[in-house]
């Protein structure tokens, strides 16, 4: 197994809910990933905006199947997949990936939420799910790096509801208590760093108020044994073919080549949740 976690880091994941790995991808690899994402015409033509309460937008692209692009190979790399399998206790599959791009002086905020707060409604019965955020640029407090509440995954799934803007966020009373009792960490990252985090970790990010962009790519995984029982906009269990850790350098700058249909258009997250919440008494 090519997991990047030491025993101490695996223990930290269990208690904290996340682990930051410096240099998960080296400078050559991150250059190839960045150029592939920036120049892939199908990805670029599939970008959409998700706005915060002030109308500021985070630019996004979302795709379900990793494929053979440079960024798809990163999601299938042994170092990432083996670490996910160690974290989640068995075989995993690729749930989806997404680009989150905060442009200089304009990128929007994300309010407090858990990923499983959305994915639960997609028919994933158990929270055997996790993501790794990979920094394509430097991410710091000024340009809206991820903020995480240490140990918040142990609280379980928190109800999510409608908030101003185009987002669905966590119950503010629960978040207020978590902020009172749990440490808040800023995940400041250099290009190539990777933040592995559990699907129940409470997290958010500020607007980008700096002159520097903040682009990150997230690879999200579900345990094979947690196959959704509802068909939805992300895939059911699909076997994941791992690739060696040198695959990115061997491929060079490489696009998906799968056409725009391989990328998802803007959608409510999860689909229909706002309508279901509005219908509740």
pTM of whole model > 0.95?
no
Asked whether residue 164 carries a pLDDT value surpassing 80, the answer given is no
* Upper half-sphere CA count for residue 80 (Cβ side, 13 Å): 36
The 10s digit of each residue's pLDDT in 76-108 is: 999 999 999 999 999 999 999 999 999 999 999
Asked whether residue 278 carries a pLDDT value surpassing 50, the answer given is no
CB 234 within 8 A of CB 270: no
Asked whether residue 276 carries a pLDDT value surpassing 70, the answer given is no
- Assign domain 7-279 to its CATH architecture: Sandwich (2.60)
Q: What is the pLDDT of residue 277?
A: 44
- In the chain, where are the structural domains located? 7-279
Cβ neighbour number for residue 272 with a 10 Å cutoff: 12
Q: What is the pLDDT of residue 52?
A: 87
Q: Is the N-terminal amide bond of 270 cis, ω within 30° of 0? A: yes
Q: What is the pLDDT of residue 279?
A: 44
């Amino acid at each position: 197994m090519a997991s990047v976690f030491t025993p101490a880091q695996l223990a930290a994941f269990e208690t904290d809910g996340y682990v930051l790995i410096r240099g998960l991808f080296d400078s050559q690899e991150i250059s190839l990933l960045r150029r592939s994402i920036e120049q892939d015409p199908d990805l670029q033509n599939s970008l959409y905006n998700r706005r915060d309460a002030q109308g500021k937008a985070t630019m996004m692209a979302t795709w379900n199947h990793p494929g053979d692009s440079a960024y798809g190979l990163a999601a299938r790399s042994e170092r990432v997949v083996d670490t996910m399998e160690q974290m989640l206790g068995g075989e995993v599959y690729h749930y989806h990936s997404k680009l989150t791009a905060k442009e200089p002086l304009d990128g929007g905020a994300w309010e407090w939420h858990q990923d499983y707060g959305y994915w639960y409604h997609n028919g994933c019965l158990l929270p055997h799910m996790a993501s790794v955020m990979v920094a394509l640029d430097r991410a710091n407090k000024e340009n809206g790096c991820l903020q995480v509440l240490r140990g918040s995954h142990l609280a379980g799934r928190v109800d999510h509801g409608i908030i101003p803007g185009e987002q669905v966020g966590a119950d503010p009373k629960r978040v207020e208590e978590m902020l009172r009792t749990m440490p808040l960490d800023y995940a400041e990252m250099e290009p190539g760093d990777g933040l592995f985090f559990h699907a129940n970790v409470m997290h958010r990010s500020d607007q980008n108020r700096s002159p520097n962009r903040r682009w990150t790519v997230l690879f999200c995984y579900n345990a094979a044994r947690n196959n959704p029982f509802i068909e939805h906009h992300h895939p059911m269990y699909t076997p994941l073919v791992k690739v060696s850790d040198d695959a990115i350098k061997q491929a060079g700058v490489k696009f998906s080549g799968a056409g725009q249909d391989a990328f998802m258009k803007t959608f409510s997250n999860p689909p229909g949740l706002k309508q279901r919440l509005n219908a509740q008494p």
